[in-house]
Structure 1
Amino acid sequence: MSATAVFRTIPVRELLADQLLDLSKKMKLSLSKADMLVVQQIFNDEGRDPTDVELEVIAQTWSEHCKHRIFNAKIYHTLNGEQEVVDSLFKTYIRATTEKIMADKPDFVLSAFVDNAGFVKLDDDKAVCLKVETHNHPSAIEPYAGANTGLGGVIRDILGAGKGSKPVASIDVFCFGPPDTKQEDLKAKDVIHPLGIMRGVVRGVRDYGNRMGIPTVNGAIQFDDTFIYNPLVFCGTAGIIPIKDIAKEVKPGQLLIAAGGRTGKDGLKGATFSSAELTTDSHEEDQTAVQIGNPIEEKKVADFVLAAREAGLIEFITDCGAGGFSSAAGEMLSEVGGEVYLHHCPLKEPGLESWQVFISESQERMVMSIEEHNLPALQAIADKWQSEIFVLAKADGNKRLRVFHYDSIVCDLPVDKLHGAPRREMRAHWRQPAALAPKVAVRPESWTQVLKTLLADFAIVSREPIIREYDHEVQGNTVLKPLAGAAGDAPQDGSVIKVDGSKQLVALACALLPEWGKNDPHAMGRACVDECVRQLVAMGANPQRIAILDNFCMGNPDAEKELGALVECTKGMAESAIAYGAPFVSGKDSFYNYFITEDGPVSIPVTLLVSGFGIIEDAKHVVGASLRRAGSKLCLIGGTTAGLRGSVFAKYTKGAGLDGAPTWKEAATWASYEKYHELAKSGAVLACHDLSEGGLGVALAEFAFSGKAGVKVELENLPATKDCTVAELLFGETPGRLLLEVAPEHLTAAKAAGAVVIGEATNEKYLNITLRGSTLIDAAVSDLKSIWQGGLVPYY
C-alpha cells in the first residue's frame, strides 16, 4: 500500500448553478442545485476549492438518509382546499408528542431522539431500547446482502445506544411484490422477481441473526403489486442496558477508537444511493453501495463492546452506519471538532482512495471514545475477544473536522457548516376521497367460501415457512413465541421476552396497513398506532408503559400528492399516540422508493410501520393468542362500525372499499384497553387475539387454529352500529377490538370490564357462525387451517 494519500481538488467556486447540479449528478452526491450553491458558498468563505473527500463528506452528512431533511422541512400543505404550514413534521407531530407524554410520565422515557435508540425504564436498574431501520434500496438490487447487512446495522445501532446496550431480540418486517407475479409482467430489465427478493431477504436476515445468537421473535409481511420494484425491508433490534450507562459525552482530549471489521470498497455512497430513486441501471451501477456482512466478526465486536462497557472504559460509542467513519467520527466530533487519521485504518485491500476510506460503509465497525490512559486496558479486552482496534481520531475542541491521510490534510471543515444542511421548503396537498353511497350489497352464495378466500390471501396466510427460518429460542428468554397452539403452528399477536436479572418482561409488536394508506393515510396513521398498542395490551403489557417507533417509507416526496399523504399519515399517527400516552422514542424514514419502469415511475404507497414495546410487570400477566380449551366463553371488547375501505375483504368485492374506512374513537378504545389490562392481571383471560386483517371471521378461525377446541358464535349480540352489513360484521376491520377466551367462572368480571359474550369454545372442532339462528359460516377447523397454512408453502 502506497504511503501517499490519493485525493483531488474539485473546482466549484467558478461554476454556475446548472454546472454545480451536473457535478452533483456526475459524482452521485444526491445534492440539489440549492444544496450545491450552499456548498459553493462554504468554500468561497474558506477561500479555496474542496477536495473530493470534502464533497463526499458533505453529501453523506446532508443526505436524506442521514439528516431526515424532508421530516424537518417547512411544508406548505393544502388539505381539502385549505392551506396550512407545517413547520417540521418531526418537531410538530413526533417530538412534540413525545415531550408532552414525557411531561405526563416523567419516570418512563429516559432518553429519546438524542442517541441511536430511545430508552424507557424497565425497573430501578435497567432500561430497554428498540431501534428499527430500513434497508430497501440495497435489498432491491442484492436481496441477501442488503437484508443481511440491514439486520447487522440495526444490531450495531443497539450496541451504540448508551455506552453499549446488549441486543436481546430482533424483529423483521417485509413488503414484497406477490410471489405469484408473472415474469412477463415485470416492466423493467434486470429487476429481480419478487420470489427471488423474498427468498434472498429472508435468508439474509436469518443468517445474520442466527449466527449472532440473537432471537428473531416478531415481524410482519405484506404483499402488494406496488412493492414489486421497491421492496421494503425493516429490521429491528431491542436492547437492555443499566440505566447508569445511558448518558454519554465526547470531550476534548479523548481518543476515538474504531473496532471490528476492516475497511474496503463495499458500501461506497450507500447513504446517497439510498436517497435517490432506483432505475434499470441501478442493479449494475450501484453494486458497490451494498455492503458485505460478516456476523461472526460482529459477534466478536459485540462481546468486546459489552466487556469494555462493563469495565467502565467507554465514554461514548456509536456504530459505523451510513457514511462509515465520516458519519461516525463526524457525529462524535460535531460539537468539539477533532483530527481523524485515515492512515491508521486497516484495509481489506490496498489502493483505496482517501474518500473511499472515509465514507466506506464496510460492516461490523464501531467507534468509541475513551480517555487516553485507558487505551492499554481497552487493548487487553480487544485481544481477549479477538477484535481489532486502532486509534481513528482525537477530539481537540477546535470545532473543525480535520482529516489526515498520511502527510496530507484531505478534509478540513468547520463542524457547524458541515452539520448545517440547508432546510428544504416543500409543497404538499391531499384531498380526502369522499365515501360513496349507497353501500355495496354483498350477498355471496357462501360466506364460508368468502372466509376461505380471505384465509388464502397473501395478507393473511401463515408465515410459518418464514418464521421457521429464524431461531427464536436462542438466549433462552423467549416466553411468548411467534407461533402457538397444540402443534406450535398457530399465530400470535406478538412476542414476550424475559430479561436476565429483572422480574419485568418486555412485549414486542408491530403494525403496518399499507392498503389503508392508498386512500386514507390519516386513518392509516391512527390505525397503525392502535393496532400496535392493542397487540401489546393483549399480551399483558401495562397500557401506561408502552413506547412506539415510527418508520415511514414512501415514493417520491417531491410529488405534492404523495407528500400530502405523508403529512396526513403523520398527523393521524400523532393523534392516536397522544390519546394512548404512547411516546415515540425512535424512528426512521426512507424516501424515493419508486422505480422508473418502461411504463413510467412506479411508487410504493405511503407506508407506516409502527413498532412498539411494552412492559409486562409479572410473568403471570402474559396472555397468548391461541384458544386453550373447550367450554370457555368467547367475548368481544370493542365495537364494530361500518366501512370496508382498506380491508382485505374489499379486494374481492368491487366497490366495497369505496364507502370509507371504519370509524372509532381513541378515548373509548383506550378506556377499554385499561379495563382489559386489569382483567388480564386478575387471571381471568385465558387467551386474547386482536382483530386486524380479515376482521372477526379470520380472528375466530385463527383462534381455533390452536387445535384445542372449535368455535360457535352468534352475531346477534355483537357490539356494532346498526348500519353494519353482514360483510362488515364478519370481515370489517374496525380498530380497537379484542377477542377474548374467558373461563365461565370469570364471566361476571369480564362483563364488568366491557366484554360482550358472543359464543363459546366447543369440543367439535368446527367454526360455526350464525346470525339470529341463520348459519353464515360452518366449516371444519382443519379444512380452514390447511388453506391458511399452505399459502406460502409453494413459494418458499
Structure 2
Amino acid sequence: MSKAVFRTIPLRDLNADQLLDLSKRMKLSLSRADMLAVQKIYQDEGREPTDVEMEVIAQTWSEHCKHRIFGAKITHVLDGKEETVDGLFKTYIRAVTEEICKNKPDFVLSAFEDNAGFVRLDDDKAVCLKVETHNHPSAIEPYAGANTGLGGVIRDILGAGKGAKPVASIDVFCFGPPDIEQDQIKAKDVIHPLGVMRGVVRGVRDYGNRMGIPTVNGAIQFDDTFIYNPLVFCGTAGIIPIKDIAKEVKPGHLLIAAGGRTGKDGLKGATFSSAELTTDSHEEDQTAVQIGNPIEEKKAADFVLAAREKGLIQFVTDCGAGGFSSAAGEMLRETGGEVWLENAPLKAPDLESWQVFISESQERMVIAIEEKDLPAMQELAAIYQTELCVLAKADGSQRLKVLHHGTTVCDLHVAALHEAPRREMKAKWRTQPAVKPAVPVRPESWTETLKTLLADFAIVSREPVIREYDHEVQGNTVLKPLAGASGDAPQDGSVIRVDGSNQLVAMACALLPEWGKTDPNLMGRAVVDECMRQLVAMGSNPDRIAILDNFCMGNPDSERELGALVECTKGMAKTATAYATPFVSGKDSFYNYFVTDEGPVSIPVTLLVSGFGIVEDAKHVVGASLRRVGSSIAILGKASAGLRGSIVAKYTKGIGMDAAPDFCEVESLAAYRRYYELVKQGAILSAHDIGEGGLAVALAEMAFSGKAGLRIATDKMPAAAGLTTAELLFGETPGRLLVEIDPEHVEAAEAAGLVIIGDSTRDPYLYISHNGTTLIDSPVDQLKPLWRDGLVKYY
C-alpha cells in the first residue's frame, strides 16, 4: 500500500446521544461524558478528528489501559454511613506503599512507574514480578487468549527497566465446574468450561515451554459464576542489574520496533476488554484476539537482553494493549514526536492507518536509542534474526504526530491525549449478619466428611495441569510445585535460585472468591495474609516480601458490586499495612459479566494477591511435605469461630451462614517473625499453610508426601473458646501454619509460640482425636487417591 487510508469522523456538531451512538458503532467503549470531552478537544482545535485519532483516544482512555475506576471519585455507603473515596489506587495502594517504604527505603526500588515493580535482591540485582489478565480473549478463544496472555506478561518483564530477564512464571485460572452439563449453560455460543480449561492450560503451556521459562506456581478455582467469564491471570518474574532500572526518553532519541510483524489480529483489544461479553462476542470480536508466536518472542527477548548488556537501550517497553499507539504514546508522553507507520513491517499489505497503529499483534518491543547506536542495533537484530524498523523520533514538540506515507493521520497534544475525564461513581455495601446454626453439626463420620472435601474441585490435586508445564527449565527451580516421595504432594509455592546471587526468590499466590461473595473486606485481608503466610512458610524473610494486587469484577456500574470492590480494597490495604508488605505492581479487569438470555451473570469480586519474597540462604528453603517419621507436629496461629465461605459449608446443612473466621494481623506478623527465626536455626523440617479445607485437609496434604503418617490430638490446639468440631477440623482461619519440627528443637519451637499437637508415625494413617474421642481415622492410601485423581478424568 503506497498511501495512507484513513477517514475524518464528523463529531463537532453531534449531540450527546449521537456521540454515544458513534462510540457504540465504532466499538470505542467510551461513555457519553468521554465523548463530550473528545468533542471539546476538536471544537477547541477547530477541526474534525481522524479515525486514527479516535482509536488512539479510545485505547488510551480505555479502562484496560487507564484504570479509571481505580482513579474515580467514589461515594461509598457502608451500612448506611456515607464516605468519599478519593481514588482507590491513590488511597489504598499507592499511599500504603509510600508509607511502608518510609521504613524500608532500600527495599522497593521502583513501584507503579514501569511495566513491573522492582525490589532489591542483593547489592547488584533486583527482582520484579508482573501479573496480567487475559479474560475476555480467553473466553472466546481459550488457546489463543491464554497463549498471548502469557506472551504479553513476558514482554512486560522484558520492557521493565532497560530489559529484565524473565526467569519464572505463574498462572492462576478461574473456570466453571468441569462437570456441568451443556444444557445448564444459559447462552448460545458459550464454550463449555472443559473446553475453556483445556484450551487455556495448553495455551499457557505452549508459550512458556517454547520460550524456555519455567512455570513454577499457580492456582485454579472452580465456580458456577466463572462459566461465562473465565479468569486467566498470567505472571512472570524477572531479574535485572540495579544499574539498568532507570530509563528515560529524550528529544532526539529514535524509537525502533523489533520482533513480530503488524497485522489485523488484536484490533480493538483494549476497548474489547473494557466492555461486557454478550452472545454476539464470539462472532463479532474475533479480531480482538491476538495470534501468538513464542519462537518470535524468544528471538526478540534475546535481542533485547543482548542490547541491554551492550548499553544500547535508553528506554524499552512492550507493544501490548493498544499496540504502537500505546507503546509510542507512552514513550513520547513527555516529549512528543513523529511516528512513521509506513516503516512498520506488515503481515498483509491492506492494513488501514488506524489498524497499523492500534493493532495488538504480538512479539513486538519498542526501544528508544541514541541515533548513533542504530547500526549496532541493526547488527544485533541480524544476529538474533529479529526484524527491526525505525518507528519514530522524539522531538520535544509535545505533540503525538503520526504520519503514513507522508500524510498526517494523527496530531494530538500529549496532555490532551493522556488526561481522560475523571469518573464519579457510587458504591454501596451492607454487611451480612452472622446467623449461628440452631443445631450442632454432627455428621455420621468426620472421616467421610474429610474424604468428601478432598474430592472437591476446590481442593483436588492440580497435578494433571502442573505436569503440562516445564517447571525446571533454566535449572534454577529449588522448591518445585510438587514434591514428596512420589513427586506428587502439593507445595505452597516455589523457590528459584538466581544466577550470580546467594539470595533466592520465593513465589506464591492466593485468592478466595467464595469469601468475596459475602465478606469482601475480610477476603481482601485474608488473601494478603495467605500469600504472605505461604512465602514465610517457604523460608522468606517476612520483612523482605512484596505483593501485587490483581482485581477482577463484574459490572462496576452496579453500586453493590462496586461496593464490594471498595470493601475488598480496604481490607487488602489494612493487612498490607499491618504486615509492612508493599504493593509494587497490579492490574484490574472489569466488566467480567455476560449478558445471557435470562439477564447478566457477573463473577464475584475476585482479588488475586501474588507475591515474591527473598530467601536469604538456600538452607532456609522449607517445603510443605512431611519429611520423616518421629517428628513433632506443631501449629502456629489460633483458630477462630466461623465457617462462612468454607469448603465444608457447601456439604453440611446448617453451617456457613455465620461469619467467616477473623484473625489478628499484629499477632500473625509477630508469629511469622518468630517462625523465621526458627527457620534460620534449622529447626523447621516442613511447613504447610492451613487454607481451604482447614486443619484436616492440610494434615492430609502433608501426609501425602508418602514419608510418614500423622497422629494428632486437637485438645491443645490454639483456638477460641467453644469451637465446634466442624470449626476445629475444617475451619479456614487465616494466619495459621502446620509445622514439622525435629524433636531436638521442640523446646525452641514452644518458646517461639508454636503448640505441639502430635507427631509423625511409621504407620501410614491419619489419626485425629479430641479429648480422647476419635474424629478421623483413615489409612493415607484411602485418602490420597480421592485428592490425586479428582481432575484426571477431566484433563
Q: Which residue of 2 aligns with 1:435?
A: 434
Matches of 1:17 and 1:327, distance apart in 2: 27
Unaligned runs of 5+ in 1: none
**Deviation digits for residues 37-80 of structure 1, max 9, x if unmatched?**
00000001111000000000000000000000000000000000
Q: Which residue of 1 aligns with 2:646?
A: 647
Task: State the secondary structure of the residue aligned to 1:625.
Answer: coil
**Deviation digits for residues 271-293 of structure 1, max 9, x if unmatched?**
00000000000000000000000
Does residue 746 in structure 1 map to residue 732 in structure 2?
A: no
Q: How far apart are 1:723 and its partner, in Å?
A: 2.0
Task: State the secondary structure of the residue aligned to 2:44.
Answer: helix
Taking the TM superposition and a 5 Å limit, the aligned residue runs for 1:668-707 are: 668-707=667-706
Matches of 1:279 and 1:98, distance apart in 2: 38
CA contact (8 A) 2:437 2:657 kept: no
Greater CA drift, 551-560 or 711-720: 711-720
Matches of 1:739 and 1:407, distance apart in 2: 68
Matches of 1:275 and 1:334, distance apart in 2: 23
Q: Which residue of 1 aligns with 2:609?
A: 610
TM-score (norm 1): 1.00
Q: Which residue of 1 aligns with 2:348?
A: 349
Taking the TM superposition and a 5 Å limit, the aligned residue runs for 1:136-535 are: 136-438=135-437, 440-535=439-534
Taking the TM superposition and a 5 Å limit, the aligned residue runs for 1:628-777 are: 628-777=627-776
Q: Which residue of 1 aligns with 2:37?
A: 38
Task: State the secondary structure of the residue aligned to 1:70.
Answer: helix
Q: Aligned letter for 1:291?
A: Q
CA contact (8 A) 2:437 2:654 kept: no
Unaligned runs of 5+ in 2: none
Does residue 52 in structure 1 map to residue 51 in structure 2?
A: yes
Q: Which residue of 1 aligns with 2:134?
A: 135
Q: Which residue of 2 aligns with 1:8?
A: 7
Q: Aligned letter for 1:765?
A: P
Q: Which residue of 1 aligns with 2:592?
A: 593
Matches of 2:384 and 2:268, distance apart in 1: 31
Task: State the secondary structure of the residue aligned to 2:278.
Answer: coil
Q: How far apart are 1:654 and its partner, in Å?
A: 2.6
Matches of 1:572 and 1:407, distance apart in 2: 54
Q: How far apart are 1:407 and its partner, in Å?
A: 1.8
Q: How far apart are 1:598 and its partner, in Å?
A: 1.1
CA contact (8 A) 2:663 2:734 kept: yes
Task: State the secondary structure of the residue aligned to 1:259.
Answer: strand
**Deviation digits for residues 536-556 of structure 1, max 9, x if unmatched?**
000000000000000000000
Q: Which residue of 2 aligns with 1:63?
A: 62
Matches of 1:241 and 1:383, distance apart in 2: 24
**Structure 1 runs (4+) greater than 4 angstroms displaced:** none
CA contact (8 A) 1:439 1:659 kept: no
CA contact (8 A) 2:341 2:391 kept: yes
**Deviation digits for residues 487-525 of structure 1, max 9, x if unmatched?**
000000000000000000000000000000000000000
CA contact (8 A) 2:545 2:612 kept: yes
Of all paired residues, the percent bearing the same amino acid is 77
CA contact (8 A) 1:439 1:656 kept: no
Q: How far apart are 1:657 and its partner, in Å?
A: 1.1
Matches of 1:324 and 1:160, distance apart in 2: 14
**Deviation digits for residues 221-255 of structure 1, max 9, x if unmatched?**
00000000000000000000000000000000000
Q: Aligned letter for 1:589?
A: D
Q: How far apart are 1:138 and its partner, in Å?
A: 0.1
Matches of 2:14 and 2:266, distance apart in 1: 30
Greater CA drift, 645-654 or 74-83: 645-654
Q: How far apart are 1:122 and its partner, in Å?
A: 0.1
**Deviation digits for residues 101-150 of structure 1, max 9, x if unmatched?**
11010000000000000000000000000000000000000000000000
**Deviation digits for residues 669-723 of structure 1, max 9, x if unmatched?**
0000000000011000000000000000000000000000000001111110112
Matches of 1:407 and 1:620, distance apart in 2: 63
CA contact (8 A) 2:441 2:654 kept: no
Matches of 1:33 and 1:744, distance apart in 2: 68
Task: State the secondary structure of the residue aligned to 1:508.
Answer: strand
CA contact (8 A) 1:320 1:361 kept: yes
Q: Which residue of 1 aligns with 2:123?
A: 124
Taking the TM superposition and a 5 Å limit, the aligned residue runs for 1:768-787 are: 768-787=767-786
**Deviation digits for residues 328-348 of structure 1, max 9, x if unmatched?**
000000111000000001000
Q: Aligned letter for 2:520?
A: P
Task: State the secondary structure of the residue aligned to 2:52.
Answer: helix
Q: Aligned letter for 1:245?
A: D
Q: How far apart are 1:436 and its partner, in Å?
A: 1.1
CA contact (8 A) 1:481 1:492 kept: yes
Q: How far apart are 1:655 and its partner, in Å?
A: 3.6
Matches of 1:656 and 1:413, distance apart in 2: 59
Matches of 1:569 and 1:172, distance apart in 2: 22
Does residue 792 in structure 1 map to residue 791 in structure 2?
A: yes
Matches of 1:748 and 1:733, distance apart in 2: 27
**Deviation digits for residues 166-197 of structure 1, max 9, x if unmatched?**
00000000000000010000100000000000
Matches of 1:616 and 1:450, distance apart in 2: 37
Matches of 2:644 and 2:652, distance apart in 1: 11
Describe the shift of the 1:380–1:440 C-alpha distance in structure 2 as closer, same or farther (beyond 3 A): farther
CA contact (8 A) 1:549 1:584 kept: yes
Q: How far apart are 1:437 and its partner, in Å?
A: 2.9
Matches of 2:264 and 2:662, distance apart in 1: 52
Q: How far apart are 1:663 and its partner, in Å?
A: 1.4
Q: Aligned letter for 1:101?
A: I
Describe the shift of the 1:557–1:655 C-alpha distance in structure 2 as closer, same or farther (beyond 3 A): farther
Matches of 1:66 and 1:564, distance apart in 2: 22
Q: How far apart are 1:438 and its partner, in Å?
A: 4.5
Q: Which residue of 2 aligns with 1:624?
A: 623
Matches of 1:440 and 1:191, distance apart in 2: 42
Task: State the secondary structure of the residue aligned to 1:411.
Answer: strand
CA contact (8 A) 1:639 1:720 kept: yes
CA contact (8 A) 2:436 2:655 kept: no
Task: State the secondary structure of the residue aligned to 1:541.
Answer: coil
CA contact (8 A) 1:440 1:656 kept: no
Matches of 1:653 and 1:601, distance apart in 2: 30
Q: Which residue of 1 aligns with 2:112?
A: 113
TM-score (norm 2): 1.00
Matches of 2:281 and 2:154, distance apart in 1: 27
Task: State the secondary structure of the residue aligned to 1:795.
Answer: coil
**Deviation digits for residues 708-762 of structure 1, max 9, x if unmatched?**
0000001111110112100000000000000000111110011011110000100
CA contact (8 A) 1:223 1:458 kept: yes
CA contact (8 A) 1:11 1:49 kept: yes
Matches of 1:230 and 1:470, distance apart in 2: 24
Task: State the secondary structure of the residue aligned to 2:71.
Answer: coil
Q: Aligned letter for 1:370?
A: I
Task: State the secondary structure of the residue aligned to 1:14.
Answer: coil
